[in-house]
Amino acid sequence: MIPVDLRVHLGETVAAVPPRLFGGFVEHMGRCVYQGIYEPGHPSADAHGFREDVLELVRELGVTVARYPGGNFVSGYRWEDGVGPLAQRPVRLEAAWHSTETNEVGLHEFAGWADRAGVEVMQAVNLGTRGVLEAGDLLEYSNHPSGTALSEQRRTNGADEPFGITLWCLGNEMDGPWQIGHKTADEYGRLAAETARYMRFLDHRVELVVAGSSNMEMPTFGEWERTVLRHTAELADHISVHAYYEESDGDVASFLASGAGLDRYLDTVAGIIDEVLLELGLDKKIGISVDEWNVWYQRDWNENHKDAVLSGDWPQAPRLIEDEYNVTDAVVVGSLLISLLRHSDRVSMANLAQLVNVIAPIRCEPDGSAWRQTTFFPFALTSARGRGRVVRSDLTAPTVGTSQYGDVDMVDAVSVVADDGCVSLFVVNRSTTETVSLTTELTGASLILEDAQVLTVPEGGDRFSTNTQTSQPVAPVALDGVHCSTAGDTTRLSITLPPISWSVLTLRPAAAVKENSLV
């Protein structure tokens, strides 16, 4: 076994974990909305046409915020199409995903679903084909109490009380030539600034996210952020990062090291933010909104989508990028969550893209069942146990070589202390062959091991094992062979980590356990 040493300093806080770190994404794309969260006539559908079985899984996933309605979709979207009587809503060609949009689900329906799901709405506005006025109109319609044409229209449409949406995205991936209404950094930066200014005139409570680069490989990455922030830094609260990862050409070592890639991406963007704020003489904080992240096999998608566009068809709710996730994908998602937690001092929110069917942790079939993909589990467990404050840790581990990121630590880990003193340790073993013997010392508390779970290759399976509608062999299991001891305010753990694994261990203060045992 490979020895690894981890020292956790429970009294040294890195940052509080932002609750919005556990966000999701619902876009009018493929079967995310229609045949996903919404399917009138399904046996589990509620009075509004939304699937209760899917909603229960969304709640179990622990999502705190949902970005809506896109994504590339928003850059051609007219929000007015999705309000008012259903029979009067127009059917449109949807150019971003080459589909037909019925507009059965719009602002009112989604806001109601989000309320029932217990998630905050993160509303995106169209800065591709539209601009300042339309964004302001949507804000007034959503948030003004009454007495104006737009607020009274909302009330007539069934929402007497305002939606009170405070979190807004100013466009989507405007640096990408694939985007409807693609712009240069100067063009977008100026438009975003004017939109932000007008929205703040209408509602001073709004939090605004400006669009950063679509990915770190964009030729304009870096300079895009600098230019956009020079226009918007006084007005913006957050700047977005989009980050997708996939296993390419069998390079599993680089894929398992995706968290190291995300670390570098976030560190670079954080540095640019600091650079521009210093240049402008601004004393404020701008958070990083990782408002799209996931594993996504884009090479396969690009070819399939090209064929669909050339076919000339405009289907309703086509099956788009319904990636079937395996064990390795789930371990990578867990490692990306470790990176996000570690950057809680800079990352203000993050949205797993997307929630249902479309590169999603939840899958479902029309008139059929809903189930958890492999990636569901690391997200759900991290959302449940990753609340509180991230504390400093020091890791000593051998490295593994990768073609994309160079040498990276074989093991990565982060620790979170909850308000009740419970400690959760999240750890990933990136090796494909080596079992790791992890010795962990936690200083600052006497703790008792409460639970230890691991997601890894299931018995009788391999790293490509998946969960399907009829069979779900991949799920966390008890992590065996964990030994815990205490001496004063120091707790020591001996942990055995299998190859290609993501684990979470939770420890409770010994004093709390003794108090409970006396009751």
Q: Is the dihedral of CA 176, 182, 185, 191 positive or negative?
A: negative
From 27, 140, 173, 225, the catalytic residue: 173
Q: Are 493 and 504 in contact (CB under 8 A)?
A: no
**CA-angle at 329, arms to 326 and 331, nearest 5°:** 110
From 94, 109, 225, 292, the catalytic residue: 292
**CA-angle at 355, arms to 404 and 288, nearest 5°:** 55
For the chain, how far is it from start to end, CA to CA, in angstroms? 43
Structure tokens at 6: 């981890």
3-class SS letters over 456-475: CCCCCCCCCCECCCCCCCCC
Q: Would you say how long the chain is, in residues?
A: 519
Q: Are 379 and 335 in contact (CB under 8 A)?
A: no
292 noted as active-site residue: yes
**CA-to-CA dists, residue 150 to 83, 156, 268, angstroms:** 11, 10, 42
Distance CA 73, CA 10 (A): 44
Contacts of 446 (CB under 8 A, 6+ apart): 486, 488, 489, 490, 491, 509, 510, 511
- State the catalytic residues: 173, 292
